[in-house]
Chain A
């Protein structure tokens, strides 16, 4: 019987297999940031253990960093960042600190450097590590105990998850993006639909996505409960990788590409579950509730609790969100728009937002936050920052920003955002804040009208 992509990559990384025990899996790349690592480094110190492979480890500062120039004013955030610097210096880990040209959100910089490659195992103390699966590797988020385990051993004990194929047929219509697709998938299978699975996204619509679109899709696999999402590598993948600083060169490149071409699910491979989606039927998608599965087409209305699978949760969500069932989603007014994050903070996202904002004015507080300093540099070389500033939006430094309420970019109680980030949980963007997850295009159009809007709605 043939094997799935996930099975091929997994088997390639099994260090030890024993009956009745989890596999011991080798980890090719370990990404680190300031929030989930300090207690792991403390653990190493207490046990007198070194990092086994510091050269397979890279660190950045992202969650706590302010996106305006200047030092971190919150002393607790500052201590956390300083702790990372001290730990990286002591243990010999490459770090991209605030102000460094390579600094940025951890899941943006790995692919940019060419460190994220097909067939690899990649972990990070961050659930959105699933992003890296877009290159055809197995990438998943871990907790701090596991961060310490990887630092000490470069391995993780784990049971191989089941496999799920999400077959996306057809083509995405104009104006419908990778973000709309993944929001629609999560709404279809639910926040627990992917639990226990590695998802492989397949089909015509996936093949036609750019690498950045594929990263957006894989990024939010965790929002469907899946530990990891992956997409088989192809010419789009190789094209993206070639020439990046850590991509193989010369004969190594040829050998790598030959191997990478073997990384797809065999024709006769059997997935434990198959889900089918017709991309051509999709329209811009937004969330109305307090989990990423509570979403609907922008052209629809806020649902009534009795029309949903979990009426009690819907009632709670509508109360928190201050929404009334039956209200057209296009009539929902927002006061803040956020374009950025590991989901939608890459150059194509900024280009898409700029295209909508060119020659228009925003009526909301609008934060445009590049996912990394390299994205920022490229956007400025393309003049996108001038478009944003002319429209009245704020052009910021790189960081996680308003995705998660750990740095100065937050919503105040009762404020409502259209956000290109990944989570609409209660208080996620700041205590009492209300979040609607959207694509960069919808975010930008919403900034122009002050209500949830698609670019096609603009005159």
Chain B
């Protein structure tokens, strides 16, 4: 996983609520068996509209997505996170995230930042007024900063530490292999197996 400490970049305002993962990456793109190439599918249906914000050259190269509430609802497809990252996004800011999307993001190093709806709208307005506006997402300080403004955000210590170190969960869990084996020895005998 790519470590995340502080990132400064320009923002894309996506003024939509309930952006589901079927919009982020439509199902037809999920047939790939590799982990790469998903940037082409990012918002692919919406990008057919010339007026869609990602088609605005002013936002080319932006790396922070600022979206409406309930971002990432629906399907558990981690491909949505891969598509956002491979397109160039490092962080998504929204008032609320769907649980599975947020979980998938933190496994991959895409930072989901929850800010109050009014703050998100202020950020969207700022990025609309000036697409060259630089925004800093600072995980170490748990802050988003832009144009002299500062907004704090919450994230639990453990997830923050893992993101800042870029640590792989499996490696961390396998340090507890003994505890897993002990637990397994105490499982109820009637529990089913698939064989």
List A contacts of B20 (CB < 8 A).
Answer: 291, 423, 425
The stretch among A119-127, A201-209, A445-453 that forms the contact with chain B is A119-127
The stretch among A21-29, A331-339, A349-357, A382-390 that forms the contact with chain B is A21-29
Interface residue A45 (Cβ < 8 Å from any Cβ of B): no
Interface residue A148 (Cβ < 8 Å from any Cβ of B): yes
* Given known A15-B183, A20-B157, A291-B18, contact A192–B26 (CB-CB < 8 A): no
The stretch among A76-84, A166-174, A177-185, A230-238 that forms the contact with chain B is A76-84
The residue of chain A having its C-beta at the shortest distance from the C-beta of B26 within the complex is: A427
Which of A155, A157, A426 has the most B CB atoms < 10 Å from its CB? A155
Q: Is there contact, CB below 8 Å, between B33 and A79?
A: yes
Q: Is there contact, CB below 8 Å, between B30 and A114?
A: no
* Given known A56-B194, A141-B100, contact A126–B26 (CB-CB < 8 A): no
A253 to B31 Cα, complex, angstroms: 41
A195 to B99 Cα, complex, angstroms: 6
The stretch among A32-40, A276-284, A299-307, A370-378 that forms the contact with chain B is A32-40
Q: Is there contact, CB below 8 Å, between A24 and B31?
A: no
Interface residue A246 (Cβ < 8 Å from any Cβ of B): yes
* From B35, B184, B187, B190, contact of A42 by CB (8 A): B35
* Given known A126-B76, A425-B20, A431-B45, contact A55–B194 (CB-CB < 8 A): yes
A248 to B191 Cα, complex, angstroms: 8
Question: Interface residue count for B (Cβ, 8 Å)?
Answer: 59
* From A24, A47, A52, A54, contact of B176 by CB (8 A): A24
A182 smallest CB distance to B (angstroms): 15
* Given known A64-B31, A406-B30, contact A22–B189 (CB-CB < 8 A): no
Q: Is there contact, CB below 8 Å, between B169 and A313?
A: no
* Given known A195-B98, A195-B99, A196-B99, contact A36–B183 (CB-CB < 8 A): no
* Given known A152-B174, A310-B17, A406-B27, contact A28–B191 (CB-CB < 8 A): yes
Question: Interface residue count for A (Cβ, 8 Å)?
Answer: 86
Interface residue A256 (Cβ < 8 Å from any Cβ of B): yes
Q: Is there contact, CB below 8 Å, between B96 and A426?
A: no
Q: Is there contact, CB below 8 Å, between A143 and B33?
A: no
Q: Is there contact, CB below 8 Å, between B173 and A256?
A: no
B86 smallest CB distance to A (angstroms): 13
The residue of chain A having its C-beta at the shortest distance from the C-beta of B35 within the complex is: A39
Interface residues of A in 1-35 (CB under 8 A from B): 15-16, 20-22, 24, 26, 28-29, 35
Q: Is there contact, CB below 8 Å, between B192 and A15?
A: no
Interface residue A94 (Cβ < 8 Å from any Cβ of B): yes
Q: Which 3 A-B pairs have the closest CB atoms?
A: A143-B78, A143-B104, A145-B107
Question: Could you give 9 example pairs across A and B, Cβ below 8 Å?
Answer: A15-B179, A16-B179, A36-B76, A52-B180, A127-B76, A148-B170, A192-B98, A195-B98, A225-B99
